[in-house]
Amino acid sequence: MHTIVDARVIISCPGRNFVTLKITTKSGVYGLGDATLNGRELAVASYLTDHVIPCLIGRDARQIEDIWQFFYRGAYWRRGPVTMTAIAAVDVALWDIKAKNANMPLYDLLGGASRTGVMVYGHANGNDLDETIAQAKKYKEMGYKAIRLQSGVPGLASTYGVSKDKLYYEPADAAKPTENVWSTSRYMPTVPKLFAAARETLGWDVHLLHDVHHRLTPLEAGRLGKDLEPFRPFWLEDATPAENQAGFRTIRQHTTTPLAVGEVFNSVWDAKQLLDEQLIDYIRTTIVHAGGISHVRRIAHLAELNNVRTGFHGATDLSPVCMGAALHFDLWVPNFGIQEYMRHTDETDAVFPHAYTFSKGDLHPGTAPGHGVDIDEALAAKYPYRPASLPVNRLEDGTLFNW
C-alpha cells in the first residue's frame, strides 16, 4: 500500500515555468511537491530524474525522515539550491501522501491550527511614487492588512519589483539574462519619500514592507533603516547580501527597523548565525528551496528560540503547490509572522487547482486532506517549457552588481 511505485517530473509553463514532482504509491494515493527554481528549472528536473527518482522507487512513502536523510547525507555534495529544491519536492510530496492517508489537512498532521488565518502581504508597485501609492490603495481596498511598496527610481530605466503588469510580477523576462542598470545613490532617497507618502495616504492601520533585494552594503542598509524608522516599516527585506551573516551586526547597530532575509537560503546553515545572534526579525526561507517541510521545520524552531518569526517567500515563481503547503505550515507554526502572496495568473491557477482561499487580508489553506493542491496534467501538457533567466544588474559604470 505504502510502497512508492512511480515518481514523475512534470514541467509546465502556464505563463512561467513550473516543475512539479508527483509521487504515487501502490495504493494509488499520490503526493505533489514543487521543484521550481527560477531560471534553473531544468537543473532541478534533471537532478530529480537522474539522481533521485531511481532511488525512490520501492521505498516506503511513510518513511519521510529516513528518505530525507538518504537524499541529504547520501548526496555527499550537501546543500545548494538545486539539491535542496529537489529534496524539498520529495519531502512535500511525501507529507502530502501521509496527510491524505490520515484523511486530514496537513496542518493537523503538523500539530493543528495555531491561528484562524494566515496574514499575507500583497505587492504594490509602480513606475513612480504616485503610481505605487495608487496601487497600494487598491490593495488596501481589497482587504490586505500588509502591502509591500516597490517604486521606480528616477534616472533608472528599470528596478526590482516594478512589473509591466501591476498584479503579476515575473522577473525571469528573457531566455538569457536581461541587463538592468542600478544606482544606489539614486535609489536611497526615494524609499523614505515613498513611505512618507504611503503613511500620508494609507494611514497607520496597514503594515508596509519593502524589499531592497540585496543591493546595499551593511552601512547603507543601516542608513536606510534609520531613514525609514519614522514610518514604522513592518520589515526591510534582503537589505544586504547575506552570505556574510556578520554584516547584519552593522545594520543592527544603526537601526531598529525590523529585518527580513532568507528567500535565497537553502539550509539552516545559511541562517544559523543570523538566528543565534538575533540579527534578523523574520526568516523568509521557504519549503520549496530549503529541503521541504522536514528541514524548514528545524529552521523555524531555531528561529523560535531566538525571537525570530517566519515570513515565507511567496513569489509567482513558487508554484501553487508550494503556496498550498506553505499555508499549512503557516497555520501551524507557533512563531508565524507573515506570508508573501504574489497572486498567480488564472492560467497557472487552472493548471494547479487548489483549496486555499483569500479573505480579509488572510489566506487559509482549506481543510482538504493533504496540502490541498492538485495538478491538471492534461492542461499542464499544453504549456511546454520556455527558456527564461533572471536579470543581472550593472552599475552605471558597467560594474557587475547584485540583482
Q: Which residues bind Mg ion (CB under 5 A)?
A: 211
Quote the least distance from Cβ 369 to ligand CS2, whole Å.
Answer: 29
* Radius of gyration of the chain, Cα coordinates, nearest whole angstrom: 20
Residue 231 DSSP code: G
User: Footprint of ligand CS2 on residues 202-231 (CB under 6 A)?
Assistant: 211, 213
- DSSP assignment of 93-104, as one string? HHHHHHHHHTTS
Quote the least distance from Cβ 318 to ligand CS2, whole Å.
Answer: 7
Residue 180 phi, psi dihedral angles, 5° rounding:
-95, 160
User: Footprint of ligand CS2 on residues 258-297 (CB under 6 A)?
Assistant: 263
Judge whether 12 and 355 are in contact, CB under 8 Å.
no
The correct pick among 12, 25, 38, 348 for binding ligand CS2 (CB under 6 A) is 38
Q: Binding partner of residue 38 among Mg ion, ligand CS2, none, CB under 5 to 8 Å per kind?
A: ligand CS2
Residue 55: partners with Cβ closer than 8 Å, 6 or more residues away: 70, 71
Q: Does 315 bind ligand CS2 (CB under 6 A)?
A: yes
Nearer Cβ to Mg ion (41/211)? 211
CA distance 132 to 143: 17
Torsion of CA 391, 242, 72, 373, to 10 degrees: -60
Quote the least distance from Cβ 230 to Mg ion, whole Å.
Answer: 23
User: Comparing C-alpha atoms, which of 262, 204, 194 is closest to residue 228?
Assistant: 194
Q: Of the listed 107, 139, 160, 187, which one is catalytic?
A: 160
Nearer Cβ to Mg ion (211/227)? 211
Q: Does 340 bind ligand CS2 (CB under 6 A)?
A: yes
CB atoms within 10 A of CB 253: 10
Residue 31 phi, psi dihedral angles, 5° rounding:
-130, 155
In this chain, which residue has its C-beta nearest to Mg ion? 211
The correct pick among 317, 330, 362, 374 for binding ligand CS2 (CB under 6 A) is 317
Q: Of the listed 123, 213, 214, 295, which one is catalytic?
A: 213
- Known catalytic membership, residue 213: yes
Nearer Cβ to ligand CS2 (270/317)? 317
Give catalytic residues, as residue numbers: 160, 213
